[in-house]
């Protein structure tokens, strides 16, 4: 037999052997896929993981290409460049939105963060991401039922007499169903974490950080690595609903003594586990629903004042902490008759207490003195305290002042910031971010400052936005309320410093105490006197509240 014949037969045998082995592997894999849950889940997980990676990779490459093309081109005029960049922003925002919606979960959360950064990102990006507030994925009832059995030891039918299978709301991390407890007949809200999050969160956080690191290398002038770091540091805390239980209970207990000023109501949590919460059902209207307010005789300026008291309390009071997700979807307005604790004809409902951040004592004090300097139009004092609490440089101060007040630079530094912004000022701010290159400066500032300062800025932005949406007829009132909290904080610091003096009980010490008191009182009076004409037109409402709480 020739060597060529032997080679051919050997090759044919090897080929047949390869087919047999391949067929055996495929057959065994197929059999295991349908009969072995572990193999089935492993293969499914690998397939879904590859799909998620592909979605992120493809969207990132497309956006990189679009921006490289636009930023590397030459333009006849600045207007032409502005138009091209605006179109690029919009196109890339839509590409990103599609990818975020396709992957869901943590990516929805990321998109919501982007949509909330109106003070930092171009309007094309933030407006495109707004849809993610109301368009979140919904987990199946079967998956929810399995999770309830695993986490609480009982099924939907065992726990509830009634259960609405269609959620009344779905967010990035959870969805909420209305139900009636079988044990008591009480109507409740059931907050259920999306079961799929447990499987993909580590991968999604890693991919997100990788994308932002790539962005930092390709576009170093737009640092966003901090956004990925922020997501990693917070997501695992938010995914443990027992943290939300503790935060809600602590915040509710604190604000009970301030109900007359805040009208705040936090849903009581009845059952808690890491992935499921059962709480009292407290529905309400959106805070921008002016027709609801009119129909129920709710005063818009009072609602605005209550919001100012709520969030200033969180910022300036030790041990309370700031709600980390203050957007319109987590607030509701509920008409109700006045009661002994609440003289208002409404309640402000605050939802989603998964994440709170504390403000350090010194940061709180520097922040208070920054606002007092702003009210006195003391630019030197503003700059001094902004540098201390926000860790910025003197060169960065003008842009930071504009960001934290929500005004253009000229108004923030030289004019009355208590008045509402008009459309022309808002347009000037948007134009300055792009045409004057302030966007790059702003992103550089915000990427390097302490994260809690960014949260304070976000909270300010929310209160300012709601004040504008409410069309508050008395916008100065919000500034007056803020000034009171700032003055109290500054006064407490002054008294503490005086008490630390060795001669605090000598004549000199008494003199220092008195001078310290009147120094801070002067700051209070200075702020109040700016609005004295408005103050006396309040119909005595604030005085009634003061008498009620102090006498």
Which residues are tagged catalytic?
Answer: 325
| Ordered DSSP codes for 315-374 | HHSTTT-EES--SGGGEEEEE----SS--SSEEEEE---S-EEPPPHHHHHHHHHHHHHH
* 55/60 Cα distance (integer angstroms): 9
Under 8 Å between Cβ of 203 and 52 = yes
In this structure, are strands 346-350 and 264-265 parallel, antiparallel, or unpaired?
parallel
Give the number of other CB atoms < 10 A from CB of residue 337. 8
Max intra-chain CA distance, the chain:
122
Residue 130 is classified by DSSP as G
- Give helix 451-469 / helix 361-375 axis angle, nearest 10°: 40
Q: Which residues have a Cβ under 8 Å from the Cβ of 213 and sit 6 or more positions away?
A: 225, 228
In this structure, are strands 174-181 and 187-193 parallel, antiparallel, or unpaired?
antiparallel
Q: Is 540 exposed, middle or buried (0-12, 13-18, 19+ CB in 10 A)?
A: exposed
* 136/180 Cα distance (integer angstroms): 25
Give the CA angle between residues 234, 240, 246 to the nearest 5°: 95
HSE at residue 263, side-chain half, CA atoms within 13 A, is: 25
Token pair listed for 514: 């008195």
Residue 285, classed as helix, strand or coil, is: strand
- E-assigned strand segments in 219-296: 264-265, 269-272, 276-280
- The continuous run of DSSP H or E covering 204 comes out as helix 197-218
How many residues would you count in the chain? 551
Give the number of other CB atoms < 10 A from CB of residue 551. 5
Give the number of other CB atoms < 10 A from CB of residue 440. 15
Under 8 Å between Cβ of 255 and 266 = yes
For 409-431, the three-class secondary structure string (H helix, E strand, C coil) is HHHHHHCCCCCCCCHHHHHHHHH
Residue 454, classed as helix, strand or coil, is: helix
Under 8 Å between Cβ of 131 and 145 = no
Under 8 Å between Cβ of 107 and 99 = yes
Under 8 Å between Cβ of 405 and 374 = yes
* 498/515 Cα distance (integer angstroms): 10
Q: Is 388 exposed, middle or buried (0-12, 13-18, 19+ CB in 10 A)?
A: middle
């Amino acid at each position: 037999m020739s060597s060529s014949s032997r080679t051919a037969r050997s090759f044919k045998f090897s080929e047949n052997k390869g087919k047999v082995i391949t067929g055996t592997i495929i057959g065994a894999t197929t059999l295991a896929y349908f009969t072995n849950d572990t193999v089935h889940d492993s293969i499914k997980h690998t397939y879904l993981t590859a799909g998620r990676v592909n979605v992120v990779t493809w969207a990132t490459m497309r956006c990189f290409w679009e921006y490289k093309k636009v930023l590397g081109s030459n333009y006849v005029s600045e207007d032409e460049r502005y138009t091209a960049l605006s179109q690029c922003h919009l196109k890339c925002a839509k590409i990103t939105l599609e990818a975020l919606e396709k992957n869901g979960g943590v990516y929805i959360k990321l998109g919501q963060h982007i949509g909330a950064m109106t003070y930092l990102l171009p309007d094309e990006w933030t407006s495109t991401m707004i849809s993610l507030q109301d368009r979140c994925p919904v987990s199946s009832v079967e998956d929810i039922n399995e999770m309830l059995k695993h986490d609480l030891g009982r099924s939907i039918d065992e726990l509830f007499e009634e259960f609405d299978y269609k959620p009344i709301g779905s967010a990035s991390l959870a969805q909420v169903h209305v139900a009636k407890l079988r044990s008591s007949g009480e109507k409740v809200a059931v907050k259920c974490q999306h079961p799929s999050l447990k499987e993909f969160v580590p991968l999604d956080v890693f991919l997100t950080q990788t994308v932002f690191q790539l962005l930092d290398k390709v576009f170093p002038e737009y640092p966003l690595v901090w956004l990925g770091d922020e997501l990693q540091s917070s997501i695992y805390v938010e995914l443990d609903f027992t943290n939300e239980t503790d935060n809600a209970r602590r915040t509710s207990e604190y604000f009970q003594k301030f109900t007359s000023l805040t009208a705040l109501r936090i849903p009581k949590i009845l059952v808690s586990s890491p992935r499921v919460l059962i709480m009292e059902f407290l529905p309400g209207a959106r805070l921008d629903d002016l027709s609801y307010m009119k129909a129920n005789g709710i005063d818009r300026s009072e609602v605005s004042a209550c919001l100012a008291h709520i969030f200033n309390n969180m910022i300036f009071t030790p041990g309370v902490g700031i709600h980390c997700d203050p957007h319109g979807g987590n607030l509701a307005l509920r008409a109700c008759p006045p009661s002994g604790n609440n003289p208002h004809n409404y309640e402000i409902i605050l939802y989603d207490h998964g994440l709170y951040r504390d403000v350090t004592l010194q940061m709180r004090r520097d922040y208070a003195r920054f606002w007092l300097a702003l009210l006195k139009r003391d630019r030197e004092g503003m700059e001094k305290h902004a540098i201390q609490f926000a860790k910025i440089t003197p060169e960065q101060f003008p842009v930071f002042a504009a960001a934290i007040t929500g005004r253009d630079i000229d108004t923030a530094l030289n004019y009355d910031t208590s008045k509402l912004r008009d459309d022309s000022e808002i347009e000037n701010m948007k134009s300055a971010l792009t045409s004057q290159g302030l966007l790059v400066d702003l992103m550089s500032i915000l990427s390097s400052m302490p994260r809690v300062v960014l949260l304070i800025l976000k909270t300010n932005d929310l209160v300012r936005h709601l004040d504008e949406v409410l069309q508050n007829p008395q916008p100065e009132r919000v500034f007056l309320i803020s000034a009171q909290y700032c003055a109290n904080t500054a006064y407490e610091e002054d008294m503490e410093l005086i008490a630390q003096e060795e001669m605090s009980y000598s004549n000199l010490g008494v003199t220092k105490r008195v001078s310290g008191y009147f120094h801070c009182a002067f700051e209070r009076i200075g702020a109040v006197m700016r609005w004295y004409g408005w103050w006396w037109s309040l119909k005595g409402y604030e005085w009634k509240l003061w008498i009620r709480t102090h006498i």
